[in-house]
Structure 1
Amino acid sequence: MTTDSWTAPSIDDRGLLAARVADDLDAYLAVLARLDVFVPRREADQGSKFGLRRSVVKLNQLTVYGQLNNAIRGTSKSALTVSQEYDTTRRGARLILPVYTRALLPAERPEGVYFQRNLFPAWVQDLAKQRQTMQLVVNPGTPEERELNVGKAAHWMRKDPQLVGGWSNLRGTIRTVYNEPAQGDLARALACGAHLSVTNAVPWNTMGHAWLDYHSERELLSQWWGIEGPVQWQNQVDALLDNENPQPVDLVLGIRTERGAGVQPSGDPAQDTELLTQAVDAWCRDRGAPERLAQEMTDIAQWVVRCEMWMRRDGVITPDAIVATQDSWDWGRCVNMARWGLSCGFCDRTTAEQIVRHAGNLCARTYADWGQMSAAYVLGRVIKMGRQGNPEDSYRESLQLHRALMLDPASPYLTVPLH
C-alpha cells in the first residue's frame, strides 16, 4: 500500500509511518516503546468457532487486569487472571499475531474476539519470557505495517531502557485520533469527558469499540462501580445524568447561592467557612435533616471553601469567583460511562453516542466556558472522591489535569467551542 493518499490517524501513527517509510527499525521500536497497543484475544471455549487457518496460542494465567492497568487507573485492586488465547493467523509457515494502535483498530472484529490493551514494551518482554515464537505484525494492511520478531523486539527494549515509557508517561497526556470527530457536537460532548480520558491515557475524542479491552473494563465497572450487567449500567447512567435529586454537595452549593452565604468571597476563609456552615446548619434544622446528613453537609461546606481557596491561589478560578455547581463531575464521568457501556456490550454505538451528546448538552447549558466547567469538575472530584482518601492529593492531581486541558495546544478546550 502506498502512502500517497493515506494519512496517519494519530501522532503516534505518524511516527510509525515515518519510521516505516525510512525503513528505520530503531525509530519504529522507539515509538512502540512508549505506546499502548491492542491485541486480539478470544476465550478458550470459543476456539471451535474459528476457521482452519486460525491457530491457538495460550497465555498461561497472565494478568489481564493487573499491575499495568492498575497503574493507569491509579488503583491497587487485586488482579483478575484469566487463561485465554491469542487470535493468531498463518502467513505461510509463520505464525502471526496482529497488533494494532488504537486509531487503526479494525472496524469489525472477528467473531468472538476482543482487543486487549497492553503497554507494548512490558507486554513484548512478557511474551519473550514465555518463549512465544509467533511474529508480531503491527497495523496489518496499512502503510505502517511491519513484522517484528518477539525476541528481537524484547531485546531492544531491554537494551535501551531510557527510551522505554510506562503508563505514567501516557497518563496526563492529551491524545487525539484524527479519524474520529475533532469538531462538531459529538466532539464537543466527548470533550466534556476529557478529564477522565486524560487520566486513563485515552484519546479524548474516541467513542471506542464494542469488546475493546473487554475484561479490564468489566473489572473496572465491577470493582469501582458495582456494575455487573446492562441494567446496573443503565441505572448508573441515569443517576449521573439526574440533577433533579441533588446529592449533599449539590445541596451545600445550592444553600450558599440561595442564602447568600459567602457567594462573594471575603478573602478570609475562616469567615467564609463560618458563614456557609451556619447557613447549612440552619437549613438542616429547618428541614429536620437526619444528624448524619447534617454532619456530612457541614464537612462538605468546610471542604468547599478550602478547595476554592486553593483554586483561587492556583488561578483555576478568579479571586472573586465561586463554583456554583459541580455537575460536570458527574456529566464528565457519564461520557466515559457511555464508552465503557459500549466496550462491555451493555449498549450499542448509537445509544452510547446519545448518552454522550446528552451529557455534553447539559454541560453547554450550565457552564459559560471550558474553564468554568473544568473548575466545577475539579471541585466535584475533590469533594466527592478526595474526601474518601486524601483531598489535597486529589486536588493536586485534578489541578494537573485542569492545567493540561487549559494550556496544552492539543487540548479540545482550545480547539473545540463549548457553545
Structure 2
Amino acid sequence: MHDPLHDEHAAPGGAYDIEAELHDEVFPDFPAPADGSPWQAPADLEEHLYELCQEDDAYGYLRAIAVEGLYRPVPVTEAGRTERTDSESELLTVDLPDGRKVAQVYTAGVLPRPHPAVVYEYVTLDSLAHGCPDDVDLLVVNAATPCQQFFLTTDDEREVWSDLHDQYHRADGLGNRIDTRRTGAPEAGSRLLHGLACGAHLCFTNGDAWNTVDWHGAGHHNEIGRLEEWWGVHDRDDWLSLQERLLTRDVSPWYWDFVLDARTALARRYGPRVDAELWRDRVEAALRHRVVETGGPGEPHRPGEDPELDQFVAHLRGLVGKVLRYEARFRADELLPPDGHVGTVAAWDIGRASKMARWGRGARYATHAEMIKALERASEAARATYTSWEGFSAGYVLGRCLHFDEESFGSWYTDVLRAHRALTTDPDSPWLTVPFQ
C-alpha cells in the first residue's frame, strides 16, 4: 500500500535522496534594501539587533544574544551525519584577506531552509566563550545580513560573554511566548499556514516561531534528542510511522473519543443536557455491544462473564466522571463557554502531528515535501473535525489532561491553559490572524 506521507524522492533504506533536497541557501543571505529604506527583519530579535547595529550598541547586542542563544553551522558527511557530536564539532570559519580567522554564528530568525550539506546546532554565548578555538580572531553574528556584528575573541571579551550568559540566559526562559516570523511565512489563507497554526500550543510552550517551515528548532542534535527522549523515535522509519499515526489519530487511546461519542449520540436524541448516569449506561451498553459485534454472540459480554471486560467497563464509566470534572474546570477557567463541552480529543493528536512534522524535519528524518504534506494533512484533519480554534484548543487540552494530568490540575493543565489564553487573546496569535475555516 502506498504510504501517504512518503516522499516520492525518498530513497530505499530509510534515507532520502539528497539531490532532491539541494538548493542554494546554504547560509543566510539578507541583502540590505537597495533604496536605503529600513530593513524588514524576519523576527523580533533580528529587528532588535538591527536597531542596535544602527545605534552602534555592541554591548546591547551581546546582551540580546546572551538571552536567546545562537546557532552555528556544522558540515554533514556523505553518510548524512555530522562528523562529531554537537559539543565536539568545530566552529565553521573563514579566512579574511588580512589573515585573520572568523567564526560565524547566527540567530534563529535568519537561518535558511535546511540543506543536506549543513545542519545548525544551538550554542550559548557561554559555550562560545569556552569553546571558541584560540586561532579564531573574530566572531561574526549574522554575517551577510543587515544585523551583522563582529566581536573580538580575546580573553577579556570572552569573559564578558560568560558574564552576560550567567546574568541573562535561562535555559527554560524562552518559552511561553508567541513568536511570529515577519518574512518568509507561507501564503496567507493556505492550508500550510493553517496546518502550522494547529501546532500553536507547543510552539507557545517551547517559544518556537509558529509560522516557519525553515525548521531548525532547538538545533539538529537537540531535535534528535527530543524525538528519542519523548517519543522513542530513533530514525526516519520511526518518524514516518509515528507521523502517520498522529495524523490518523491512532496515538491517543481510542476509547477517549468512544466515551465522548456516546454523549454526542445521546445529545442528538435527548438534547444537549445529558444526564451523567444515562451517559455511563450508554457507554457500557455500547462497549458490550461492540464486543458482540467483533467477537460474535457467543463472546462473553454480559456483566460477570468476563472479569477483564467488567474492569474495562468500570474504567470507562469512571472516565465519564473525569471528563465532566475537567469540563467543569474548563468552564470555570473560561476555556469552555458556560454551556460548552468537548466533543472529541482529536486535536491532541492533530496538534502534535503539526509539530512532529517540524521536529522530523529538524532531525533530518523528513524531507521538505514530507513535512509540507504532513502539515497540510493536519490542517485538513482539524477542519474536518472542528469549527473553531477555541473548540480545537479545548479538545487538545482535554486530551493532554487525560494523558498526563490525572486530575491534579497541575502544570500539565496550567501550562496549556496559559497557552490557550494567550493564543485566543494576543493580537499576534495565529488563531486571531489565520481563519479556522
Shorter-chain TM-score tier: 0.7 to 0.9
Deviations 1:102-127, CA, capped at 9 Å, x for gaps: 2211346473x311123xxxx22233
Shift of 1:25: 1.2
Q: Which residue of 2 aligns with 1:84?
A: 89
Q: Deviations over 1:126-180 (max 9, x none)?
A: 3323574333211101111101235555544555679614243320110011223
Instruction: Tell me, yes or no, if structure 1 residue 238 matches structure 2 residue 244.
Output: yes
Inter-partner Cα distance in structure 1 for 2:391 and 2:328:
15
Displacement of 1:409 in angstroms is 1.4
Q: 2:373 aligns with which of 321, 331, 354?
A: 354
TM-score using structure 2 length: 0.77
Distance in 1 between the 2:183 and 2:57 partners? 26
Larger radius of gyration: 2
2:178 is matched with which residue: 174, 192, 195? 174
- Provide closer, same or farther for how the CA distance between residues 234 and 299 of structure 1 changes in structure 2, counting only shifts above 3 A: farther
How big is the shift at 1:402? 0.3
Please list, as runs of the form range in 1=range in 2, the aligned pairs for 1:10-409 lying within 5 A after superposition. Answer: 10-42=43-75, 64=86, 83-91=88-96, 92-107=98-113, 109=115, 111=117, 113-118=118-123, 123-130=124-131, 132-133=133-134, 134=136, 135-150=138-153, 151=155, 154-156=158-160, 159=163, 164-181=168-185, 183-185=188-190, 186-209=192-215, 213-243=219-249, 247-260=254-267, 264=272, 272=276, 274-286=277-289, 287=291, 288=301, 290-291=309-310, 293-387=312-406, 390-409=408-427
TM-align CA RMSD: 3.2
Task: Identify the range of structure 1 (255-264 vs 316-325) with the bigger mean alpha-carbon deviation.
Answer: 255-264
Instruction: List alignment gaps of at least 5 residues for structure 2.
Output: 1-30, 292-300, 302-307
Amino acid across the alignment from 2:266: R
| Superposition misfits of 4+ residues, deviation over 6 angstroms | none
Structure 1 SS opposite 2:410: helix
Classify the secondary structure of the residue corresponding to 1:177.
Answer: coil
Change (3 A) 1:154 1:309: farther
Name the CA distance, whole Å, in 2 between partners of 1:212 and 1:131: 20
Give the % identical residues: 29
Task: Name whichever structure is richer in strand by fraction.
Answer: 1
C-alpha distance 184-102 of structure 1, shift in aligned 2 (>3 A): farther
Q: Give aligned pairs, total.
A: 379
Residue 211 of structure 1 deviates from its aligned partner by 9.7
Determine the structure 1 residue equivalent to 2:6. Answer: none
Contact 1:42–1:84 (Cα < 8 Å) also in 2: no
Give the partner amino acid of 2:152: N
Q: State the alpha-carbon separation in 2 of the partners of residues 253 and 336 from structure 1.
A: 25
SS at match of 1:345: coil
State the AA in 2 paired with 1:217: E
Residue 359 of structure 1: how far off its partner (Å): 0.6
Give secondary structure in 2 for the equivalent of 1:41. strand
- What SS is found at the alignment partner of 2:120? strand
Question: Residue deviations 1:245-297, cap 9 Å, x none?
Answer: 9712111111121234997458xxxx74x444343333333334835543543
d(CA) in 2 for partners of 1:25 and 1:128? 16
Secondary structure in structure 2 of the residue aligned to 1:170: coil
CA gap of 1:401–1:275, structure 2 versus 1, over 3 A, is: farther
Q: How does the TM-score come out when normalised to structure 1? A: 0.80
Structure 2 counterpart SS, 1:250? helix
CA contact (8 A) 1:265 1:321 kept: no
SS at match of 1:86: coil
Q: Structure 1 pair 114/402, CA: closer, same or farther in 2 (3 Å)?
A: same
C-alpha distance in structure 1 between counterparts of 2:310 and 2:157, whole Å: 61
